Amino acid sequence: MKYATALLQHMSRLLERLDAQIAQAEEVFERECLKSRRAAVLARHGQFSEARFALAGLRSQSQRLRNPVLSAWVAFVDGLIEHCESLNPTARAKFRRAYDLAATAGDADLHALCAAWLAMADFNASDVAATVAHAREALRTAPADSHAARARAALVVASAWRVAGDDGRAIPWYKVARQHAATEGDVSLVSVLLHNMAAFQAGRISLEGAFERADLADAQRVLLEAESTGNYDAGVGNGQLMAEVPLLRAQLMTVLGQYDAAIVLFDAQLPRARAEGQVHREARFLADALFAEVKLGRMEEAAKRLRAVNAAMPLMTEHDDVAATHARLAAATRALGRPEQADAHAREAQAALERHRAEQRVWAGALATVDFS
């Protein structure tokens, strides 16, 4: 908590420094660019109302000044708000516009920053080639003191290595991201790092649990780490993706057999998760809740949840989510006395798992070309 408090104070100092620079700026263009940086800080820390208010002023000035750098900042901040508030996929197009404008204007720092965030959006869209290309570009073009760009690009590469299933290759990139984030004073990125590491570990263990291969000691360790991440968010006042950590905890509790507690968390957090852009993962969470109901012997409630899972399944986008969901449904429908459905779900689960492993190999091959330079 002391570390979280120190970082929160660091964020306040960052805003204070930007406020002082804005007050001292003599040129309108310089002042508006500094205001853009401040709006970006607000968006990254979940202060969305304040960020939108600032964006409205920036957009008005951008239309008046007609400067490509300021136009790039407007598109970038707009994308940040959409991404950080709800993981809205439309943020990708806004990051692309910001990236194009910054590159045309020759602003190396902003160009690298936009490339890094575009890489993040590419990653969320599972576009392997674009993710790697834009992350490499951000790392290559960022000036030495562009800590925000370097931190974000390193986080993208670390996340991609996690998807590839290689934690050993991911950890050095996390360290680089954290170093640059600390230098920048970006508490939101430190929070994202913690969320990221917890999410991938919980996802891996949940997938293993769905196939009855989970290490329970490992699951308990990651559960404690997820709780620590939640405590960090509370300490720094992070307002982004508030449902994520509780849902990770619920998944791990399901693996550990803490079924009642898991169901309470799933039911409490799923409405918020939908608002935060996690609709595509709803079926996986619902399948875990369904499995927990079956383990508790509440078959009538399980049958109701089965209908909800089936309705949400077409929205899934990730092979590991599909695999885990079908594996949970195989176990649940077998317990409900539906052996033919269970066999079909088991086949679907294995096929999706094989697709997931193949996708991991594609990520690993592409990432092998990325280095720290």
Q: Walk me through the domains of the chain, giving residue ranges and CATH numbers.
A: 186-373 (1.25.40.10)
Which residues, 6 or more positions from 234, have their beta carbon under 8 angstroms from its beta carbon? none
Per-residue model confidence (pLDDT) at position 242: 77
Per-residue model confidence (pLDDT) at position 184: 82
Per-residue model confidence (pLDDT) at position 162: 95
Per-residue model confidence (pLDDT) at position 94: 97
CA 222 – CA 207 distance, rounded (Å): 14
Per-residue model confidence (pLDDT) at position 15: 85
Query: Whose CA is closest to 291, among 333, 322, 341, 319?
Result: 333
Per-residue model confidence (pLDDT) at position 4: 47
Per-residue model confidence (pLDDT) at position 9: 58
Per-residue model confidence (pLDDT) at position 259: 98
Is the sign of the CA dihedral 44, 82, 367, 372 positive or negative?
negative
Per-residue model confidence (pLDDT) at position 233: 52
Residues of the chain with pLDDT under 50: 1-6, 234-238
Per-residue model confidence (pLDDT) at position 230: 60
Per-residue model confidence (pLDDT) at position 231: 62
Place of tokens 């008046």: 64
In the numeric block, which tokens belong to residue 371? 């280095």
- pTM for the full predicted model: 0.88
